[in-house]
Amino acid sequence: MELTTLCTVLATLRVLPNKSQFFKYTSVSFSCEGNSSEWKVKRNTSKNTNEDCPNSPDRKTPYHFVIGDLYTSDTGVYWCESEAGRCSNSVNITVTGGSVILESPSVPVMEGESVTLICRNQTSTLSADFYKDGRLISSSSSGNITIHRVSKSDEGLYKCNISDGGQSPDSWLAVRAVHQESPAPPLVLVLLPVFGVCLALGSLMLLGLWRNHKGEDEADVDYTNVTVTQEGLPIRIRDADTASTYSTVRT
């Protein structure tokens, strides 16, 4: 069963003890952590949807809800909600009338942390087999296993089995990724583009000044004092008749 209500998550629902499976007739408490005066505990079960949980015994703290004797009908999804439409994380609770439960965290485990899963019958912990997504992953004589440095690959559906004792219901182990901020770029990578822009702007300014200065120099030339002098070239005329006459006289 899952919570499908869309809302802004601004609070945290805490479950004590922190586990998702319970035997019948045991107790559990829920607390909304946030601006407590605004919150109340709600749940979806097989009998009711979007049900307001009864107030705590003092009737003054709707953000705190205690069930002294659990029944299988209390199985469902629990969360905190305000009149303004804000809500908390949701928690799945399973109450079984069977003889075995798997104790696993009711809230997501952060990546890198360690988590211990305990297979328990009504009175004690016994040798047990542990399964993830239907596959046997470990057998423990102590009835518990610890997963070190949890990663997203460890997320899945777990259950346990005690020989001649019974099998637990399935329990979903959620793993929350750790969001790491990107490291700041080296200072040189930040300053290099700034230096390049400054250099380009400086070059453009110098080019503009040079062009202005060149224009001023050309404007200073005074053409009124320029004298143009043309030198006469010797005129060479060749007379063909003269050459013929001279030849005749000599003859």
- Band the pLDDT of 247: cuts 50, 70, 90: very low
62 CB-near residues (< 8 Å, 6+ apart):
39, 40, 41, 52, 53, 55, 56
Residues 21-55 pLDDT 10s? 999 999 999 999 876 667 889 999 998 899 988 76
| SS3 of residue 54 by DSSP | coil
136 or 231, which is more confident? 136
User: 63 or 151: which carries more pLDDT confidence?
Assistant: 151
Residues 68-88 have a mean pLDDT of 92
pLDDT for 192-210, tens place per residue? 777 677 777 777 777 777 6
The answer to whether the predicted template modeling score (pTM) of the entire model surpasses 0.75 is no
Token pair for residue 32? 């909304």
What is the distance, to the nearest Å, from the Cα of residue 98 to the centroid of all Cα atoms in its chain?
40
How far, in Å, are 44, 72, 85 from residue 5 at the CA level? Answer: 11, 23, 10
Across residues 107-126, what is the average pLDDT? 92
- pLDDT at position 216 is 59
Classify domain 98-176 by CATH architecture.
Answer: Sandwich (2.60)
Mean pLDDT, rounded, for 58-65: 70
Q: Which fold has domain 1-97?
A: Immunoglobulin-like (2.60.40)
In whole angstroms, what is the distance from residue 88 CA to residue 111 CA? 21
Burial of 128 (0-12, 13-18, 19+ CB in 10 A): buried
Predicted local distance difference test score (pLDDT) of residue 188? 60
Q: What pLDDT is attached to residue 251?
A: 44
Segment 105-108 long-range contacts (CB within 8 Å, at least 24 positions apart): 105/18, 105/19, 105/20, 105/173, 106/15, 106/18, 106/19, 106/20, 107/14, 107/15, 107/18, 107/174, 108/174, 108/175, 108/176
Q: What residues does CATH 2.60.40.10 cover in the chain? A: 1-97, 98-176
What is the DSSP-derived secondary structure letter of residue 224? G
Confidence at residue 33, expressed as pLDDT on a 0 to 100 scale: 86
- Looking at residues 167-182, what average pLDDT do you find? 86
Lowest mean pLDDT, pick from 109-118, 161-170, 214-223: 214-223
Q: What percent of the chain has pLDDT over 70?
A: 72
What mean pLDDT is reported for the chain?
A: 81
